[in-house]
Homo-oligomer: A and B are copies of this chain.
Amino acid sequence: MFIRNAWYIAAWANEVGQAPLARTILNETLVLFRDKAGKLGALEDRCCHRGTPLRFGEVVDGGLRCGYHGLVFDGSGSCVSIPGQVKIPSKACVRSYPLVEKDEFVWIWMGDPNDADSSKILNYPFHNDHAKWPHKHERYHIKASYKLMIDNLMDMTHLAYVHKKTIGGNPKIHVNAQMAVTPNENGLHYLRWMLDCDPPPTYQKAVTFKGKVDRWQEFEFIAPSSIVQWSGALDVGLSAQENRNQDGGFSLRLFHGLTPETESSCHYFWSTANGYRQDEPEATEQLFSEISTAFMEDKEIVQGQQAMLSATGEDRLVDIVSDAARIHMRRTLERLQRAEKPAPPG
């Protein structure tokens, strides 16, 4: 069961061109494309003639042409041409989905199209500020529910065990972190401080510290599936807690978009932006490489967790203190799930 009345990331904007791109979202197989005018379209990936996936087709004047017998569909899903046939039956159409291109993302609305309100899409201005936030992005296919991936990001104590070699740092630091969770209308915010600690390997590769640092992790969860992160560290003595916006330290912005593919798999759209050495492309590359490695560590363990939970169910699990943000996040999802309109009959 999915939350349908929500905007999800369907793709990175630069993934979608005239060549049809097939993607499964919320268990529905879609095809994304740009028409000859560059306009985005998302159609059901199934021709209404014989069920052939439209991904085998190509963009022609008027829309996307099926690669089997040549029916053409426009961006609204209407069939506009049947070779050798003048009259087009009114039933000849495929489902279409509202799309919005914004901040390098292609957002898709999976619910009732009449309820698609693009003003509700979150803003991520950092993708438009290449000077201050140079960045790179990626998509990982994850064989785990998007919920388990969001779980992962709601409990930072895992850094000590999963990411020892990258973004982790000393386990004790994570255990003793100051953690403030603030629920809000769309999800929650949390801020985590690790004061007077050793900078982890990824930070040390990026900038030069004098010694110990004051380190923060700030997360905003926007239900159902976006997480905006700002993390960093400053030398002890620079009053980081009063003002994090100082030059000379380390900071990064991460965007995490977890779009359900099936009940037990998801697309992980993420970007990483370096808030230091912005004029050095190799700094952006290096950070991206470090984060890629760390997220592969997450992917491996979360996929293992999904396989085990798929086999054994969720009985006999025990919550611990560090689950606070995770538990709030799950309650938000449950509230949204309950608010879903029942599917129309038929």
Contacts and interface: CB of A to CB of B under 8 A. Distances in A.
Nearest to A51: B309
Given A66-B161, A69-B161, A92-B318, A52 B151 contact: no
A162 B67 contact: yes
A173 B40 CA distance: 31
Contacts of A122: none
Contacts of A51: 305, 308-309, 312, 314, 317
A246 to B, nearest CB: 29
B160 A70 contact: yes
B161 A46 contact: no
Contacts of A322: 69, 83-85
A160 B84 CA distance: 12
A322 B84 CA distance: 8
Contacts of A162: 67-68
Contact of A49 (B45, B160, B317): B317
Interface string A25-64: 0000100000000000000011011111101100000000
B160 A48 contact: no
A317 B155 contact: no
Nearest to A24: B311
Nearest to A22: B304
A258 B61 CA distance: 37
Interface in A80-116: 82-85, 89, 91-92
Contact of A67 (B66, B175, B301, B317): B301
B161 A68 contact: yes
Contacts of A312: 46, 51
Given A29-B311, A56-B300, A82-B321, 13 more contacts: A49-B319, A49-B320, A50-B305, A51-B314, A56-B301, A68-B161, A68-B301, A70-B160, A83-B174, A84-B321, A85-B321, A89-B318, A92-B318
Query: Which 6 pairs show the lowest CB-CB distances between chains A and B?
Result: A84-B175, A52-B305, A51-B309, A85-B321, A83-B175, A53-B304
